[in-house]
Amino acid sequence: MSDEQAYRAGFVSLVGRPNAGKSTLTNALVGSKVAITSSKPQTTRHAIRGIRTTERSQLILVDTPGLHRPRSLLGQRLNDLVRETLLSVDVIGFCLPSDQRVGPGDTFIARDLGDLHRVRKVPVVAIATKSDAVSRDRLAEHLVAIDQLGDWDAIIPCSATGGEQVEEVAELLASYLPESPPLYPADQITDESTLVQIAELVREAALEGVRDELPHSLAVQVEEIVPREDRPEDAPLSDVRVNVFVERSSQKAIIIGRGGSRLREVGTEARRGIEELLGHRVHLDLHVKVAKDWQRDPKALDRLGF
C-alpha cells in the first residue's frame, strides 16, 4: 500500500459554543443517530463517540458539550470534560454556525484552541456549519470572519441537515489522522453503553417544546431494564424504568403537563427510539423527580454521572 493509500484512523473532537451544530454534524458523518440534537443549548453532556469507517479511514468522533462561560458546578465540569477530551485527540473540528455572527463565545474558544495548537500541535479545522441557512454572500462574510479569528489548518463550509459537503468534511478531517489500522470493528458506530443511549433518548424527547431554562435543569437516569418473563422468543418485551430529574417543583409540572399529557408525549417519542435501539418492544415507565439544585451539588452530580 502506497503512502497515498495508507489507512488512517484516530480521534476527532468537534468543539464549538452551544448549539453550533456539533451533534447534527456527528450524526451526518456517522450516517446514523448517535448524538442527541435539540434546538436548546447544552444538549450534549457526554463525550459521545460516533464511529465512521470507510475503506480508507476510520474517524472516531468525540462530540463534546459546548464550551461556554460556566454559571454552575455542572457548567464547570462540562468545560473540564471538553478540555480533557482535547488533550487526547488527533484533530479538532471547530464548528461555527453560519446563521450566527462570530461572537465573544467563539473568540473564547478560539483562544483556548490557539493555546492547545501551540502546546500540542493538534491540527484545527474550522467548519462553517449550517451553510444552507444563509445566502452565498453572507456565507462568504462568515468564512472571512472565521479566517480572521485564528490560524486554522483549513476552513470548510458544510450543511449537515442538507448533506452538503459532509463527505468533504470527513475526508479533510481524515487527512490529518495518523496512519493506523482501524481501532474499532467496521460495523460499530458508537461505544456508548445501552443505558447511556436510552437516557439520552429520553432527555432528547423531554427537551422538545419546553421552556428555555429547563434543559440546564434536566437529568435522566435509567434505573433498570428487565426482560418480561414468559414472552415468546420472537416477541420479547422489556420493562424500562427511567427517572427524570429536575431542580424545582415548577419544572416537574412543566415536564408532566396538564393531566400528564406532556409526559405521555415524551414517553411515546422516547419509546420509539428505545425500541429501535433494542430491536424489540418496550414498556417505558417514566418518573419525574425533584433533586433540588442538583447542578450545584457535588454529590448529586456524582450520582447522576457528571
CATH number for the domain running over 3-175: 3.40.50.300
Per-residue confidence (pLDDT) for residue 78, from 0 to 100: 67
Per-residue confidence (pLDDT) for residue 192, from 0 to 100: 64
User: For 92-113, how does the pLDDT look when each residue is reduced to its tens digit (9 = 90+)?
Assistant: 999 999 999 999 989 988 988 8
**From start to end of the chain, where are the E strands?**
8-15, 48-53, 57-63, 91-97, 124-129, 154-157, 219-227, 237-246, 281-290
Per-residue confidence (pLDDT) for residue 44, from 0 to 100: 43
CATH ID of 194-303, from 3.30.230.10, 3.40.50.1820, 3.30.300.20, 3.30.390.30: 3.30.300.20
Per-residue confidence (pLDDT) for residue 64, from 0 to 100: 65
Matching residue, cell 456517522: 30
Query: Which one has a higher pLDDT value, 61 or 196?
Result: 61
* Residue-averaged pLDDT of the chain: 82
Could you give the CA distance from residue 229 to residue 203 in angstroms, rounded to a whole number? 28
Query: Which one has a higher pLDDT value, 163 or 296?
Result: 163
User: For 130-142, how does the pLDDT look when each residue is reduced to its tens digit (9 = 90+)?
Assistant: 999 999 999 999 9
In degrees, to the nearest 5, what angle opens at C-alpha 37 toward C-alphas 34 and 42? 115
Distances in whole angstroms, Cα of residue 99 to Cα of each of 9, 20, 125, 135: 32, 10, 19, 10
Domain residue extents for the chain? 3-175, 194-303
The arithmetic mean of pLDDT across residues 10-19, rounded, is 86
Per-residue confidence (pLDDT) for residue 38, from 0 to 100: 47
Per-residue confidence (pLDDT) for residue 82, from 0 to 100: 64
Cβ count near 261 (within 10 Å): 10
Per-residue confidence (pLDDT) for residue 83, from 0 to 100: 66
Matching residue, cell 447522576: 304
User: For 166-178, how does the pLDDT look when each residue is reduced to its tens digit (9 = 90+)?
Assistant: 999 999 999 999 9
Tell me the pTM: 0.60
Q: What is the 3-state secondary structure (H, E, C) of 165-188?
A: CHHHHHHHHHHCCCECCCCCCCCC
Could you give the CA distance from residue 105 to residue 41 in angstroms, rounded to a whole number? 13
What the block records as the C-alpha cell of 305 is 454521572
The arithmetic mean of pLDDT across residues 290-298, rounded, is 75
Closest CA to 193 of 304, 24, 28, 49: 49
User: For 33-51, how does the pLDDT look when each residue is reduced to its tens digit (9 = 90+)?
Assistant: 665 554 444 444 445 578 8
The arithmetic mean of pLDDT across residues 267-288, rounded, is 88
Q: What percent of the chain has pLDDT over 70?
A: 78
User: For 208-253, how does the pLDDT look when each residue is reduced to its tens digit (9 = 90+)?
Assistant: 766 454 556 778 888 888 888 888 888 889 898 988 888 888 888 8
DSSP per-residue letters across 262-302: HHHHHHHHHHHHHHHHHTSEEEEEEEEEE-TTGGG-HHHHH
Matching residue, cell 483562544: 111
